[in-house]
Amino acid sequence: MNETAHALGASATFWELIERRAALTPDRPVLIQDDHTLTFGELRDRCERVAAGLYGLGVRPGSVVAWQLPTRLETALLSFALTRLGAVQSPVIPFYRDREVGFALRESKAAFFAVPGTWRGFDHTAMAHRIAADLEQPPQVLEAYEELPDGDPAVLPPPPADGTAVRWIYWTSGTTSDPKGVLHTDRSLIAGGSCLAHALHLSADDIGSMAFPFAHIAGPDYTVMLLLYGFPAVLFEQFAMPGALDGYRRHGVTVAGGSTAFYSMFLTEQRKDPTRKVVPTLRLLAGGGAPKPPEIYHAVVREMGIQLTHGYGMTEVPMITMGAPDDTVEHLAETEGRPPEGMEIRITDEDGKPRPYGTDGEVRLRGEAVCQGYLNAARDAFDADGFLVTGDVGHLLESGHLVLTGRLKDIIIRKGENISAKEIEDLLHRHPGVADAAVIGLPDEERGERVCAVVEQPAGARALTLAELAGYLRTEGLAVHKLPEQLEVVDALPRNETLRKVLKYRLREQFS
């Protein structure tokens, strides 16, 4: 990390980081959307006016403000205006509906709720009032899509000085139960973003992109990079290929990504015309949030002629490990990268005892980027040594690189033998008749669980059979007891709306 970025990274609060960057490069762009550009200086000045407008509506330091807004310049302004006030903000993914939103409002006891009105055909204001009618302490509903509150900054109290106070409540995706409210501080988010920026070797000459919801934990994580290094990012309110390509090309984006699904979408577009780079200025795809099959890495490098670095993060810890552009090909393809300085990774057995290098166990974490726990159950997330218990399974190499092999809940137990779904999925991604794949365990009276492969096939591919699939996996060296006993071919795997993770619980419900 260069000296300027290192000094900025020592900021105590988000607002201090914004002020310092605005003083250094006030006229450089920070956020770009369509034909609109916001500079670092404008970000600071407009946030102060929005903060004053919110103050006039009754928002105070410590007020809980939930917001469910799309990825827009106005959303960033509202969020960082709340950091200026020292409010506690609870971002909610825009695609969530009554059940998830109602749970978040009820659990956080939000006093204010900012919504975009009618967005993409759905009336968020009506939903907000519908939910509020059932709450003992209903929030004040604010419409904040294009018009934000405005006021004179002279009325504002001093900005917050304590970066270790909980001021962010992020929500896990809640696939089979209610979501959890994850508690973050300014310092934990700044630590995560600082580590990400350092790992990717970015510079002031780069142009980034946000194709994921700003309400995701990746929103502040990514914004920290912009503030540290002084480069801009292009925002996409709605991301879909090939429509988004015009924005990448027009603004000269150099760094893109999000998750494995995003890499696959770029590859699909590149393959339409292999003779031309799909985005001429693009030099790096980077992301995390979902497992990366090695074949995806090799395909991106081979066919797009750019680098791909993948990492490991979660709502509880936005940056755990990250591949670096100068890592070896083997490490970039086969691992999730290394942790930054200050991030401790412990691989343990089921009793919490450390396991040696190269041996699978549960991944546990300790460091500044780790959250403060969960809303209403803050300490339940940690073991006796203060490590966050993740539920992920993997092992460390002696080089410090982490290899993830699955989730505790994603281990298939067949006749008493543990089978990693990810091991089979990585092999399936190499098959020319497979576009994407998910492997699940299904209840089986004889075996306990049976292995089921659910695949998408490329357009025009010959129909895949279970016998052919099993034969292929045998030639790839997969042990016989791990071979799928059921094959399901689907048009599209079910995914969430944030980082496009496959929702395996839906597949289990469908095929059990």
Contacts with 408 (C-beta within 8 Å, 6 or more apart), sequence order = 362, 391, 392, 393
| φ/ψ bin of 403: left (φ > 0), alpha (ψ from -120 to 50), beta (otherwise) | beta
For the entire predicted model, the pTM comes to 0.84
pLDDT-derived band at 4, boundaries 50, 70, 90: low
pLDDT-derived band at 9, boundaries 50, 70, 90: low
Q: Is the backbone peptide bond immediately before 91 cis, with ω within 30 degrees of 0?
A: no
Question: Fold for domain 3-187?
Answer: Rossmann fold (3.40.50)
**What DSSP designation does 303 have?**
I
Cβ atoms within 10 Å of 277's Cβ, excluding its own: 14
> How much is the pLDDT for 176?
47
What residue type is assigned to position 364 of the chain?
A: R
8 Å CB contact between 295 and 429: yes
DSSP states of 147-191: ------GGGPPPPP--TTSEEEEEE---SSS---EEEEEHHHHHH
8 Å CB contact between 188 and 316: no
DSSP alpha helix (H) spans, 31-97: 40-56, 73-85
> How much is the pLDDT for 3?
61
- Smallest CA-to-CA distance from 453 within 445, 461, 467 is with 467
> How much is the pLDDT for 485?
94
What residue type is assigned to position 464 of the chain?
A: L
- What tokens were used for 421? 């779904």
Euclidean distance between CA atoms 78 and 91, whole angstroms: 11
CATH class of 415-511: alpha beta
pLDDT digits (tens, 9 = 90+) for 342-363: 899 999 998 899 999 999 999 9
pLDDT at 341 over 90: no
pLDDT at 381 over 90: no
Domain 240-407 in CATH 3.20.20.370? The answer is no
| 407-410 CB contacts, 8 Å cutoff, 24+ apart | 408/362, 410/504
Q: What is the mean pLDDT of residues 325-337?
A: 92
- What tokens were used for 106? 């009820």
Could you check whether 240-407 and 415-511 share the same CATH topology?
no
**What DSSP designation does 72 have?**
S
| Averaged pLDDT score across all residues of the chain | 91
φ/ψ (deg, to 5) at 408: -55, -40
> How much is the pLDDT for 5?
60
> How much is the pLDDT for 22?
97
Euclidean distance between CA atoms 319 and 345, whole angstroms: 12
Q: What is the mean pLDDT of residues 126-154?
A: 94
CB burial string 449-485: b at 16+ within 10 A, e below: bbbbbbbebeeeeeebeeeebbebbeeeebeeebbbe
Q: What is the mean pLDDT of residues 133-157?
A: 94
- Smallest CA-to-CA distance from 131 within 121, 141, 116, 117 is with 141
* H helix or E strand, kind and range, residue 323: none
Residue in the structure block whose two tokens are 């300490």: 379
| φ/ψ bin of 159: left (φ > 0), alpha (ψ from -120 to 50), beta (otherwise) | beta
Contacts with 58 (C-beta within 8 Å, 6 or more apart), sequence order = 111, 112, 140
**What DSSP designation does 476 have?**
T
Residue extents of the structural domains in the chain: 3-187, 240-407, 415-511
φ/ψ (deg, to 5) at 209: -155, 145
pLDDT digits (tens, 9 = 90+) for 425-474: 989 999 999 999 999 888 887 777 899 999 999 988 999 999 999 999 98
pLDDT at 416 over 70: no
8 Å CB contact between 451 and 484: yes
Angle between helices 186-200 and 218-229 (to 10 degrees): 60
Cβ atoms within 10 Å of 147's Cβ, excluding its own: 9
pLDDT digits (tens, 9 = 90+) for 72-122: 999 999 999 999 999 999 999 998 888 889 999 999 999 999 999 999 999
Euclidean distance between CA atoms 37 and 250, whole angstroms: 13
